[in-house]
């Protein structure tokens, strides 16, 4: 896969969990709008990826099918309205394109769009004490 023309920045994703269908704008994304649906299910471990080639493993917290009506887009089965501005920002789509997807030129009437919601695992950042102990261990083993 190449992220730019002429092959200047070719990269391949390392082995691991499956990748999401579309890239995200940042690896801390909470939502991903998938206009053609997805086979990914709730509870799966997947990797978010950016066009730069960076990846991060996350858990699919929820999968919300999207229904469109005169007022806009609504997540089926969700008590609260999705934060559509955040969905658009994380996905990299224009907000108006998402809210009026059935009228978009690329819309497929046979596919149900979905929004995936992600849960990020807690990453323990090393304390200053731990970094100092690691440094001492390396010095001792030289």
Q: Tell me how far the alpha carbon of residue 10 is from its chain's centroid.
A: 21
- Rounded Cα–Cα distance for residues 35 and 31 (Å): 13
- pTM, whole model, 2 decimals? 0.75
Tokens 């997805």 belong to 38
More confident residue, 6 or 106: 106
Residue 36 pLDDT exceeds 50: yes
Residue pair 91/7 in contact (Cβ under 8 Å)? The answer is no
Q: Cα–Cα distances in Å, from 87 out to 77, 126, 129, 131?
A: 17, 31, 38, 37
By percentage, how much of the chain surpasses pLDDT 90? Answer: 27
What number of other Cβ atoms are within 10 A of residue 136's Cβ? Answer: 10
Query: pLDDT-derived band of residue 6, with 50, 70 and 90 as boundaries?
Result: low
Q: 62: which strand partners? A: 117
pLDDT at 99: 87
How wide is the angle at C-alpha 17 spanned by C-alphas 35 and 40, nearest 5°? 30
pLDDT in tens, 15-33: 778 888 888 998 899 999 9
Per-residue pLDDT of 67-100, as tens digits, reads 888 887 888 888 888 899 999 999 988 888 888 8
DSSP state of 19: B
Using only C-alpha atoms, the chain has a radius of gyration, in whole angstroms, of 19
């Amino acid at each position: 896969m190449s992220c730019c023309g002429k092959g200047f920045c070719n990269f391949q994703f390392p082995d691991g969990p499956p990748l999401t269908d579309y890239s995200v704008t940042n690896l801390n994304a909470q939502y991903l709008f998938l206009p053609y649906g997805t086979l990914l299910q709730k509870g799966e471990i997947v990797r978010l990826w950016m066009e730069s080639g960076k990846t991060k493993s996350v858990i699919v917290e929820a999968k919300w099918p999207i229904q469109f009506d005169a007022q806009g887009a609504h997540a089926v089965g969700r008590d609260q309205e999705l934060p559509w501005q955040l969905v658009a920002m994380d996905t990299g789509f224009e907000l108006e394109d998402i809210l009026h997807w059935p009228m978009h030129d690329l819309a497929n009437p046979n596919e149900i769009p979905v929004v995936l919601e992600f849960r990020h695992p807690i990453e323990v950042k090393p304390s200053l004490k731990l970094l100092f102990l690691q440094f001492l261990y390396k010095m001792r083993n030289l």
